[in-house]
Amino acid sequence: MRLARQGNEDAYRQVLGRVSLWLRSVVRREMVAAGRSAADCEDVVQETLLAMHLKRDTWDDTQPLEPWLRAIARHKLVDHLRRRGYRDHVSIDDQAECLEAATDPDADARTDSRRLLESLPDRQRRIVEEISIEGRRAAEVAVRFGMSEGAVRVTLHRALRALAALYRKGQS
């Protein structure tokens, strides 16, 4: 994480990958413990990753990383559970069924992020898709869209912040 702070992309990718593995197990356990379906597990993982990314300035790098991560995950999980309210109550039979399909990290079409992405302004949505789903670099996207690389990054950042705000509003 310290390396990632210095702008080391590979280090950051690795950190996020490891954190998402860890988050998936924590979130899944907590949601089952709360008597909820684990079907939205990946949504919470993604929302937490996004929050962790946008709020990474709040990590004091003289302190261990884990309590900070835990605190963010807890905050987001509580938010999520509150938002979903009773709508999410499922019987235990349903849960058992969900558990297998639910925590699939490759789930795509059903995730909140997919749906929320659709409600972003067109340009923001397309830039996020180009970079995340198509795996293009910001510089390539800039050429394709006839924008400067800086403008692509600014748009990307705005899109991520907008996504976080949409999660918060609970439009999911």
Partner 1 sequence: MKTANLIEALVADRAAQGRPLARGLVGALVAGAAASLALFLVEFGVRADIAEALVTWRFEVKLAMVFLALGLAYSLCVTLSRPVASGRVAWRLAPLAALAVAVVAIELAVLPTAAWVARLVGSNAVVCLTTIPLLAIAPLAAVLWFLRRGAPASPALAGAAAGLLAATAGASLYAFHCFDDSPLFVVTWYVLAALPVIALGAILGRRLLRW
d(CA 32, CA 37): 6
- Whether residue 82 contacts residue 171, with contact meaning beta carbons closer than 8 Å, is answered with no
Among 2, 17, 94, 96, binds partner 1 (CB under 8 A): 17
- The packing angle between helices 149-169 and 41-54, to 10°, is 130
Q: Which of 79, 115, 93 is nearest to 37 (CA)?
A: 93
d(CA 90, CA 76): 21
Among 32, 34, 88, 114, binds partner 1 (CB under 8 A): 114
**Count of chain residues binding partner 1 (CB under 8 A):** 50
d(CA 156, CA 99): 33
Among 96, 101, 133, 143, binds partner 1 (CB under 8 A): 133
State yes or no: residue 142 binds partner 1 (CB under 8 A).
no
- Which range in 1-9, 28-36, 80-88, 89-97 contacts partner 1 by CB under 8 A? 1-9
Task: Give residues in contact with partner 1 (CB under 8 A).
Answer: 5, 7, 9, 12-13, 16-17, 20, 42, 45-46, 49-51, 53-60, 63, 67-68, 71-72, 75, 105-108, 111, 113-114, 117, 128, 131-133, 135, 137-138, 153-154, 156-157, 160, 164, 168
